[in-house]
Amino acid sequence: MSGIAVSTTINGDEVEYLCQADETLLDVLRDRLEMTGTKEGCGTGDCGACSVMVDGRLVCSCLVLGAEVQGSTIETIEGMADGADLHPLQQKFIEHAALQCGVCTPGFLIAAKDLLERNPNPTEEEIRFGLAGNLCRCTGYDKIVRAVQDAAQEMKG
Amino acid sequence: MQYERPETLKDAVGLLSNSKGKAFVLAGGSDLLVRMRGEYIDPDVIVDIKNVKGLDQVAKTAKGFSIGAAVPCAELGENKALKKAWPGVVEAANLIGSKQIQGRCTISGNLCNASPAADSVPALVAAGAKAVIAGPGRKRRVAVEKIVTAPGKTCLEKGELIEAIELGKQAARSGDAYLRFIPRTEMDIAVASAGVNLTLDNKGVVKSARVALGAVAPTVVLVKDAARAIIGTKLEEEALDKMALACAKACNPIDDKRGTIEFREKVSGVLAQRAAKIAYARAGGK
Ligand SMILES: Cc1cc2nc3c(=O)[nH]c(=O)nc-3n(C[C@H](O)[C@H](O)[C@H](O)COP(=O)(O)OP(=O)(O)OC[C@H]3O[C@@H](n4cnc5c(N)ncnc54)[C@H](O)[C@@H]3O)c2cc1C
Ligand code: FES
Ligand code: FES
């Protein structure tokens, strides 16, 4: 297959792929690399289900072309747990039942991790504003906010 | 469709100038990719400017700041010097979308997308910002309020792109501010918005001012009468009322379910008044 050759680092591994000019990073992750942890909700930047980190910045992978990340470092939900050890946020999402269908969950986890790395001690308002780019149709958000607050406590140690 | 990632400005201009068919600059992609997906546009060539040397920097220059066209808005919020000098511009840029959108979107893209409701534009116009335009001809500097000519249209010619947005040094006793009205608390398009930049004399009297309104006309409008209404005052109630009246007069809004004409006229004045008060306090006025 012809296409644009791209080399990147994804969750610490060097990854090379070929993609078409109009393919998004989300398409590449899901359809070419079979990393389906990153979800597609809207495809237009509104829901945050496709959130990933590109070079240390939280972005919607549906609004990034696969070709744009040549030479970039990418982090996805697949890299969040350390083997069988869940990240504190993942653990707290389970404990607080902060998910139902789960489509929004990978995006919330990636965005919440970025939030806590930038602000280890956020107020409830800061959490709600910080996660405003992530939509959830099931939980009503409250349990998600509680899980993030609890994870923040735990991560502070 | 062809995807290009030039590393020099010259190559970027060359690609845009020599392309057959429709060529688009790609900065953050938060408008462009949405429009491609919605099939509103069908580019033949996309020129990604994020690898062009120098465009990813906010430079402090002898004259003020130069914000490269590829700098994401999130980075503006992290730049302490810029935030201190131009808090209104930075708060406007940081209102765009979500944290995810912030990680990508640029103020040059916000301007070139040419939406009447673009959040950073009224703040940039109030701040007297200039766009540095590179192209096949000579480099030119154009006031931000002159860039957008109609909804979705700019004055950029084929082959041209914005290289940077320049902000001057903020004069002593100056302040700027930006406010918008949206029905939600975040992630929404402005129904009306206002940017104000003003400078005080040593007695706290407004010496000069610029007032710009967004989302109430086909393009962002610089309202000179609103500025005149507060120059020579300490923002007394009478002056603020005159300012709001001038704002309402300058509106030429659409009438839709998000805001009627009457509502937009009224709210633009209220926002301008509130933004003026914030700018006044930031300038050290009491
Ligand atoms: C979910 C979501 C929420 C949003 N919320 C807001 C909001 O609250 N407020 C708001 O104002 N906007 C909002 N937007 C719109 C968009 O994010 C902004 O307009 C953003 O600033 C565009 O910047 P960009 O770098 O992503 O532009 P791009 O998409 O890369 O480009 C936009 C247009 O400008 C052209 N262009 C870009 N850079 C240049 C340049 N340097 N020279 C010449 N032409 C150029 C492109 O060809 C394209 O036509 C939102 C978008 C999404 C998807
Ligand atoms: S799928 Fe990317 S934001 Fe919804
Ligand atoms: S759990 Fe279903 S969308 Fe959030």
| Residue in B closest to A129 by C-alpha | B186
Contact present, B109 and B141 (Cβ < 8 Å) = no
Do B130 and B14 have their domain in common?
A: yes
Do B95 and B29 have their domain in common?
A: yes
Do B210 and B132 have their domain in common?
A: no
Taking only residues 89 to 118 of chain A, the set having a beta carbon closer than 8 angstroms to any beta carbon of chain B reads 111, 114-115
Chain B contacts of A48, Cβ < 8 Å? 98, 100
Atom of ligand 1 at shortest distance to CA of B27?
A: 30
Q: In angstroms, what separates the C-alpha of A22 from chain B's closest C-alpha? A: 7
Q: pLDDT tens digits, residue range B152-196? A: 999 999 999 999 999 999 999 999 999 999 988 778 899 999 999
Q: Which of A43, A48, A70 sits opposite B100 (nearest CB)?
A: A48
Q: In angstroms, what separates the C-alpha of A29 from chain B's closest C-alpha? A: 17
Do B22 and B162 have their domain in common?
A: yes
Do B53 and B152 have their domain in common?
A: yes
Residue-level length of chain A:
157
Query: Whole domain around residue B120: which residue ranges?
Result: 2-168
- Look at residues B168, B189, B216 and tell me which one is the last residue of a structural domain: B168
Atom of ligand 1 at shortest distance to CA of B182?
A: 8
Do B150 and B8 have their domain in common?
A: yes
Residue of B202, B166, B190 whose CA lies nearest to B82: B166
| Cβ contact, residue pair B50, A45, below 8 Å | no
Q: Which of B5, B34, B72 sits opposite A44 (nearest CB)?
A: B34
Do B131 and B227 have their domain in common?
A: no
Do B99 and B66 have their domain in common?
A: yes
- Look at residues B152, B168, B184 and tell me which one is the last residue of a structural domain: B168
Do B138 and B241 have their domain in common?
A: no
Radius of gyration of chain A (CA): 16
CATH number at residue B144: 3.30.465.10
Contact present, B208 and B231 (Cβ < 8 Å) = yes
Q: pLDDT tens digits, residue range B21-49? A: 999 999 999 999 999 999 999 999 999 99
Do B160 and B193 have their domain in common?
A: no
- Look at residues B168, B197, B228 and tell me which one is the last residue of a structural domain: B168
Ligand minimally distant from the alpha carbon of residue B52: 1
Contact present, B3 and A65 (Cβ < 8 Å) = yes
Do B275 and B139 have their domain in common?
A: no
Q: Which domains does chain A have, with CATH numbers?
A: 4-79 (3.10.20.30), 88-156 (1.10.150.120)
Helices (H), B38-144: 73-78, 80-85, 87-93, 99-102, 107-112, 120-126
Residue of A70, A71, A62, A75 whose CA lies nearest to A22: A62
**For the complex shown, is ipTM > 0.95?**
yes
Residue of B136, B143, B144, B129 whose CA lies nearest to B161: B136
Looking at residue A1, its pLDDT comes to 58
Reading chain A (157 residues) residue by residue, the pLDDT tens digits are 589 999 999 999 999 999 999 999 999 999 999 999 999 999 999 999 999 999 999 999 999 999 999 999 999 999 999 999 999 999 999 999 999 999 999 999 999 999 999 999 999 999 999 999 999 999 999 999 999 999 999 998 7
Contact present, B16 and B47 (Cβ < 8 Å) = yes
Chain A contacts of B98, Cβ < 8 Å? 45, 48, 132-134
Contact present, B279 and B196 (Cβ < 8 Å) = yes
Reading chain B (286 residues) residue by residue, the pLDDT tens digits are 999 999 999 999 999 999 989 999 999 999 999 999 999 999 999 999 999 999 999 999 999 999 999 999 999 999 999 999 999 999 999 999 999 999 999 999 999 999 999 999 999 999 999 999 999 999 999 999 999 999 999 999 999 999 999 999 999 999 999 999 998 877 889 999 999 999 999 999 999 999 999 999 999 999 999 999 999 999 999 999 999 999 999 999 999 888 999 999 999 999 999 999 999 999 999 8
How many domains in chain B? 2
Q: In angstroms, what separates the C-alpha of B116 from chain A's closest C-alpha? A: 20
Do B14 and B130 have their domain in common?
A: yes
